[in-house]
């Protein structure tokens, strides 16, 4: 009987301790706040931006690339013999000079997403006749649309 009384006292103390000022237990508050802000529409929109980026590379279409990137986007990358650092204009210039990467294929993985940001891994095969690329693209949701704000990449020999 003594053990039962101690157990009942512990349970009552725990229950009253868990009560918050508004009368809800911590568990109830967690259930109320337990809402996933990510929707499938968000993931579809992010993937569409990345698809536009890859399609811009495939077609050699600078205008299509510009739709995917924020106007002030930056890029940094390892190119085997050195690094490329600076504005995304470097990408536009490269594509304008070298043309389409007609055989490029991609694997896209959204690594993480918040309400306003996303990090995407893009594995690209055939960005040139001799190279593949691993791209990490950071996106922001601003003014009603997702845009790539930075590209960090590593070019690999085939």
| pLDDT values of the chain reduced to their tens digit, one per residue, 158 residues | 555 444 344 434 444 444 444 555 555 555 567 788 888 999 999 999 999 999 999 999 999 999 999 999 999 999 988 999 999 999 999 999 999 999 999 999 999 999 999 999 999 999 999 999 999 999 999 999 999 999 999 999 99
- Tracing tokens 């508004």 back to the chain, one arrives at 22
Q: pLDDT of 58-101, one tens digit each?
A: 999 999 999 999 999 999 999 988 999 999 999 999 999 999 99
Distance of alpha carbon 138 from alpha carbon 147, whole angstroms: 8
pLDDT of residue 17: 42
Residue 69 shares a structural domain with residue 52: yes
Sign of the C-alpha dihedral computed for residues 146, 147, 149 and 150 taken in this order? positive
pTM: 0.78
Residue closest to 73 by CA, chosen among 152, 154, 156, 155: 152
Structure tokens at 92: 């536009």
Residue 46 shares a structural domain with residue 93: yes
Distance of alpha carbon 67 from alpha carbon 148, whole angstroms: 9
CATH of the domain at 53: 3.10.450.50
Q: DSSP character for 39?
A: -
Residue 22 shares a structural domain with residue 46: no
Structural domain boundaries, residue 28: 2-33
Domains held by the chain: number:
2
In order, the DSSP letters of 95-143 are: HHHH---TT-EEEEEEEEE-SSEEEEEEEEE-SSSSEEEEEEEEEEEET
Residue 127 shares a structural domain with residue 55: yes
pLDDT of residue 4: 44
Sort strands 83-87 and 145-157 into parallel, antiparallel or unpaired.
unpaired
């Amino acid at each position: 009987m003594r053990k039962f009384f101690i157990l009942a006292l512990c349970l009552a103390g725990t229950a009253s301790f868990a009560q918050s000022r508004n009368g809800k237990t911590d568990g109830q508050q967690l259930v109320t706040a337990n809402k996933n802000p990510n929707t499938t529409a968000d993931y579809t929109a992010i993937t569409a931006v990345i698809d536009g980026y890859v399609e811009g590379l495939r077609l050699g279409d600078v205008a299509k690339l510009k739709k995917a990137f924020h106007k002030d986007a930056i890029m940094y990358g390892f190119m085997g013999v050195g690094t490329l650092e600076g504005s995304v204009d470097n990408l536009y210039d490269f594509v304008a000079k070298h043309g389409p990467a007609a055989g490029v294929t991609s694997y896209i993985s959204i690594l993480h997403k918040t309400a306003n940001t996303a990090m995407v891994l893009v594995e690209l095969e055939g960005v040139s006749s001799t190279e593949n690329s691993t791209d990490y693209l950071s996106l922001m949701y601003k003014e009603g649309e997702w845009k790539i704000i930075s590209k960090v990449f590593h070019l690999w020999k085939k």
